[in-house]
Amino acid sequence: MTERDPESLDRLAAEYVLGTLRGPARRRFERLIAGDADVARRVEDWAQRLDPLAEAAPAIEPPAQTWPAIMRRIGPAPDRARRGLIEFLFGLPTEAVPSLATAGLWYCVSFWRQVGIASAAIAALLFVYLFIAPPSSPTHMALLADAANKPVLVVSLDLHHDRLTLDAARLPTAEAGKSLELWILPPAGSPRSLGVLPGGQLSLPLDMKAAEDLARGALAVSLEPAGGSPTGLPTGPVLYSGPVLPAS
Amino acid sequence: MSDATLLAGFLAAAAKGDRGALERLYRATAPQLFGLAVGIVRRRDLAEEALQETFMAVWRHAARFDPARGTALGWMARILRNECFDLLAARGRETPLDPEFAESLPDLTDGPEALAEGGEDAVRLKRCLDQLEAQPRASLLLAYYQGLTFDQVAARLGAPLGTVKSWIRRSLVRLKGCLEP
């Protein structure tokens, strides 16, 4: 983005809200909104100015099946979230996952029974996840696996409160001079960094865009130069990845 | 209790995980949001997809709604319009008008009369829109209600692209000035 004077930013904010800013320019501007409080405020102000237009939209009755479809996607009440996770691990989930290389295996119950589920490591991770770790009720979770499909990291997501938590203490440490970096793989578009992984627990607030992408996307960990990728995109090999799935 | 307060209450309850409140919010707002989506994506199936995604996002992010910064319907409409733009981007620009809806889409480009019956902010916005000249106003409203780009507005109104751009940009600046407290 080259135009940084207040007038241009305000014009872009207005066009973003109106909708005439589209395509790659819209994506670039969304990154600017996420990283710049002044730009975010301008967008908010424009949204407030134009919001009332929605009141004059014509009312058209949506198809009868829309609400039941939404309820199916939202799933049962949250106190069943952990039971849902267990059902997911031993049965087939119902929601589509992004097309990651691991997605096929992820769905394969026999794979889990053969390699994953009985191992002491995964049992320990799940024990931590199900009974000890979660500070709040997770709405989604991701189990990141290595190239051999061995699960190595549980990530809990509470998308009601926009928080990601994980414990990287059990991860193999990166070699000297390297860092492990966590990425969102959105359903469309480029990976976005969530930062370098610490050696232990991480509790990370998520912005709205990140939470939305995560609900439909995946997570990955790549090996990067110390301090993280210099380019903003993964430069090293992807060591671990896994789709984000609803916990209920 | 006004409609806006009622909707804000539903959103607050939904933020606490109340599925019943989300359903009441849906019953109260879905037709208007669906109408807005149909105007932009111009297909019933895509509009339904946008509506579903919107309510999933509303469910996840209801806690972010701040009644001090706008109405619940306005906040949901922002999410919906973004979903519509994402859907259009994902499918290129092929969005033929579903003939079933061609008849039902009102022309809002003269200035949406319904604003006059809305809340205080809606009435104020209508007064400011009324001060714009006809074609600049139509350009702005085509962009909002039908999600048209500068190019598409120019084609629709048979006006040069540069003219349409400056109509819309100048209209936005004038609206901002007119709406200043």
The ipTM of this complex is 0.92
> Domain limits at B10?
3-90
Round the average pLDDT of chain B to a whole number and report it.
87
Q: Which residues contact A118 (CB under 8 A, 6 or more apart)?
A: none
Asked whether the beta carbons of residue B75 and residue A51 sit closer than 8 angstroms, the reply is yes
Q: How large is the average pLDDT for residues B131-145?
A: 94
What is the least distance, in Å, from the CA of B143 to any CA of chain A? Answer: 6
B36 falls in which pLDDT band (50, 70, 90)?
very high
Query: B104 and A22 in contact by Cβ < 8 A?
Result: no
Q: Is residue B98 part of a domain?
A: no
Task: Specify the CATH number for the domain of residue B80.
Answer: 1.10.1740.10
Residue B115 dihedral angles phi and psi, to the nearest 5°: -60, -30
Q: How much is the average pLDDT of A34-63?
A: 92
User: How far apart (Å, rounded) are the C-alpha atoms in residues B160 and B152?
Assistant: 11
CA geometry: angle at B55 spanning B26 and A67, to 5°? 55
- Going along chain A from its start, the domains and CATH numbers come out as 6-56 (no CATH), 75-246 (2.60.40)
Is residue B78 scored above 50 in pLDDT? yes
DSSP A218: E
Choose among B73, B78, B113: nearest Cβ to A47.
Answer: B78
Residue A156 identity (one-letter amino acid): S
The mean pLDDT of chain A is 78
Q: Which residues of A touch B59 (CB under 8 A)?
A: 70, 74
Whether residue B100 has pLDDT greater than 60: no
Question: CB of A48 within 8 Å of any CB in chain B?
Answer: yes
**Is B51 in Cβ contact with A51 (below 8 Å)?**
no
Q: Residue A248: pLDDT band by 50, 70, 90 thresholds?
A: low
B143 to A66: CB separation less than 8 angstroms, yes or no = no
Q: Shortest CB distance from A55 goes to which of B64, B73, B140?
A: B73
Determine the average pLDDT of the residues in A168-187: 86
Q: What pLDDT score was predicted for residue A211?
A: 87
User: For chain B, what percent of residues have pLDDT higher than 70?
Assistant: 88
B17 — pLDDT class (breaks 50, 70, 90): confident
The whole-number pLDDT of residue A111 equals: 47
Q: SS3 for A57?
A: coil
Q: How confident is residue A150, by pLDDT bands cut at 50, 70 and 90? A: confident
Of residues A69 and A130, more confidence is placed in A69
* B81 plus B117 within the same structural domain: no
| CATH number for the domain that contains residue B117 | 1.10.10.10
